[in-house]
Amino acid sequence: MLESLPDLTQPAGWLPLVFAVVMALAMLAYVVLDGYDLGVGILLRRADDGAQKDTMIASIGPFWDANETWLVLGVGVLLVAFPMAHGVILGALYLPVALMLAGLTLRGVAFDFRVKARADHKVLWDRAFYLGSLLAGWSQGYMLGGLITGFKDDVWNHLFSALIGFCLLAAYCLLGAGWLIMKTEGVLQRKAVRWAQGSLWLSALGIAAISLVTPLISHRIFEKWFGVPQLAMLFPIPVVTVALFVVIARSLRRLPVRLEQGNQYGVGVPFAGTIGIFLLSFYGLAYSLFPWLVIDRITLWSAASSPEALMVIFYGVVVVLPVIIGYTVFAYRVFWGKSTSLQY
């Protein structure tokens, strides 16, 4: 733990903290929002036919672009508010970042190319869509692994990062399947229930792995979690996470029967539950890492830009962010309900 926090009444104290929160929220928004997009993309390969693929992509079509913008905001805040950390983090993650960008590029352009290119090329672009989603999701997990281990360059850490990559893919699939259960009907919806069941346990494994490894890597993090009285206050996080897994599992067990009867009650439960798990995991991670941007090396205060530059951006954030959230909510309301075919 940092021995003493900077004076939070001064701009040099509270501004970096505010921007760390903005960055964390942007990253969280990205992981949840583009997470379901990427999950749907990864599940694309399991669809029965072209029509199902069209429906799956139609369910994310109006949103993906704005969803991806949260990544630009998150990385943008890292760049403009914490330039010292930006160089270190992205320098250490140079190759996985390049892989992720290639994946996001493939996935993003495939949205348009698959419906606009010659019909016999559609299969190819669908494959690009799947591969792009896979690549982007896995590299993001790999980067998360690096962030947790503090970018240590040895075999075990790379293996751990690779494992987290696969677990994040599972978590994205769970999120994507939950989205499809909500947004589709019929055969596809019932398939999505099975997809969600398949990815549930690998997601749980990933969260368990991170929870076990993080305190072992850093003595500080161990003390943060297992000291008294923190343990009592933090205890609800793992308990609620486990409870959410149970709720999702039960819901997924009951849904097939209900859907057979044409009853759409509770189709939002797996998606909402998964978001809950993402929120709690994110909170746990943020608690572990705070106030470090790079574990045991760079704190958010040591990496921050000058207070006057942060102040200029702060005004913009205060005015514009609520507007962004406002029209994002509007866009989701416009496309509320079961997704329909997309044509323009």
Q: Check residue 335 for interaction with another protein (CB under 8 A).
A: yes
| Token couple for 230 | 């923190």
Binder among 44, 75, 182, 252 for another protein (CB under 8 A): 75
Binder among 2, 72, 159, 239 for another protein (CB under 8 A): 72
Binder among 2, 48, 83, 246 for another protein (CB under 8 A): 83
| Token couple for 255 | 């849904």
Binder among 61, 146, 176, 178 for another protein (CB under 8 A): 61
Residue 44 neighbours by CB under 8 Å, 6+ apart: 53, 56, 57, 126, 129, 130, 133
Residue from 275, 244, 279 nearest 25 by CA: 279
Beta-bridge mates of residue 298: 294
| Token couple for 209 | 């792995």
User: What mask of x and - would describe binding to another protein in positions 278 to 307, judged by CB under 8 A?
Assistant: ---------------------------xx-
Q: Check residue 77 for interaction with another protein (CB under 8 A).
A: yes
User: What mask of x and - would describe binding to another protein in positions 103 to 132, judged by CB under 8 A?
Assistant: -xxx-xx-xxx--xxx--------------
Environment class of residue 316 by beta-carbon count within 10 Å: exposed (0-12), middle (13-18) or buried (19+)? Answer: exposed
Rounded to a whole number of angstroms, the CA Rg of the chain reads 21
* N residues, the chain: 344
Kindly list the residues in this chain that would bind another protein in the complex (CB under 8 A): 61-63, 65-66, 68-69, 71-73, 75-81, 83-84, 86-87, 90-91, 94-95, 97-98, 101-102, 104-106, 108-109, 111-113, 116-118, 305-306, 308-309, 312-313, 316-317, 320-321, 324, 327-328, 330-331, 333-335, 342, 344
